[in-house]
Amino acid sequence: MATTDLKSLLPRELLASVVVFLVALPLCMGIAIASGMPPAKGLITGIIGGLVVGWLAGSPLQVSGPAAGLAVLVFELVREHGMAMLGPILLLAGMLQLLAGRFKLGCWFRVTAPAVVYGMLAGIGVLIVLSQAHVMFDSGPKPSGLDNLIAFPQTLLGAVGPGSGMQAGLLGLGTIAVMWLWEKRRPHALRFVPGALLGVGIATAVSLFMSLQVKRVEVPANLAEAIDWLRPADLLNLADPAILIAAIAVAFIASAETLLSAAAVDRMHDGQRSDFDKELSAQGVGNMLCGLVGALPMTGVIVRSSANVQAGAKTRLSAMFHGLWLLAFVLLLSSVLQSIPVASLAGVLVYTGFKLVDLKALRGLGRYGRMPMFIYGATASAIILTDLLTGVLIGFGLTLVKLALNASRLKINLVDLEAEGEMELRLNGAATFLKVPALTQALGAVPPGTTLHVPLSNLSYIDHSCLELLEEWGRANAAQGSRLLLEQRLLKRRVEGRIRTSIGGAALH
What is the tens place of the pLDDT at every residue in 251-310?
988 998 898 888 888 888 888 889 999 999 999 999 999 999 999 999 998 888 988 888
Spatial neighbors of 202 by CB under 8 A, at least 6 apart, are 174, 175, 178
Residue 1 counted as domain residue: no
Residue 69 counted as domain residue: yes
Give the tens place of pLDDT for each residue, 174-186.
999 999 999 898 8
Q: Which residues pair with 451 in a beta bridge?
A: 422, 483
Give 147: exposed, middle or buried? Use CB within 10 Å, 0-12, 13-18, 19+: middle
Question: DSSP assignment, residue 463?
Answer: -
Centre a 10 Å sphere on the Cβ of residue 99 and count the other Cβ atoms it contains. 14
Same domain, 332 and 432: no
Same domain, 451 and 396: no
Structural domain ending residue among the three candidates 351, 378, 402? 402
Calculate the average pLDDT of the chain: 87
Model pLDDT, residue 88: 95
Average of pLDDT values for 7-14? 81
Same domain, 398 and 414: no
Q: How far is CA 440 from CA 102, 433, 443, 475, in A?
A: 50, 11, 5, 14
Domain count for the chain, please give it: 2
Same domain, 288 and 385: yes
Which amino acid type is present at position 196? A
Same domain, 398 and 454: no
Model pLDDT, residue 503: 36
Highest mean pLDDT among 111-120, 148-157, 178-187, 279-288: 279-288
Residue 3 counted as domain residue: no
Model pLDDT, residue 162: 66
Average of pLDDT values for 344-372? 87
| Residue 171: pLDDT over 70 | yes
Distance in angstroms (rounded) separating the CA atoms of residues 376 and 370: 10
Structural domain including 235 reads: 9-402
Residue 4 counted as domain residue: no
Structural domain ending residue among the three candidates 402, 424, 443? 402
Give the tens place of pLDDT for each residue, 385-434.
887 778 888 998 998 888 877 777 899 999 999 888 999 999 998 888 88
Q: How far is CA 377 from CA 121, 220, 386, 399, in A?
A: 11, 42, 14, 13
Distance in angstroms (rounded) separating the CA atoms of residues 249 and 243: 10
Distance in angstroms (rounded) separating the CA atoms of residues 159 and 327: 36
User: Reduced to 3 states, what is the DSSP secondary structure of residue 427?
Assistant: strand
Model pLDDT, residue 493: 38
Residue 49 counted as domain residue: yes
Same domain, 340 and 461: no
pTM of the model: 0.75
Same domain, 298 and 433: no
Res. 504 pLDDT band, cuts 50 70 90: very low
> Which of these, 413, 389, 139, 149, lies nearest to 249 by C-alpha position?
389
Spatial neighbors of 25 by CB under 8 A, at least 6 apart, are 197, 326, 329
Helix (H) or strand (E) holding 167, with range, is: helix 165-185
Structural domain ending residue among the three candidates 402, 436, 468? 402
Same domain, 383 and 476: no
Same domain, 376 and 471: no
Average of pLDDT values for 478-490? 81
Q: Which is higher by pLDDT, 497 or 388?
A: 388
Model pLDDT, residue 110: 64
Same domain, 394 and 431: no
23 φ/ψ angles, rounded to the nearest 5 degrees: -75, -40
Average of pLDDT values for 481-494? 67
**DSSP secondary structure of 86-130:** HHHHHHHHHHHHHHHHHTT-GGGGG-S-HHHHHHHHHHHHHHHHH
- Is residue 442 within 8 A of residue 474, CB to CB? The reply is no
Average of pLDDT values for 194-215? 92
Average of pLDDT values for 359-383? 88
Model pLDDT, residue 509: 40
Question: DSSP assignment, residue 377?
Answer: H
Same domain, 385 and 421: no
Same domain, 214 and 300: yes
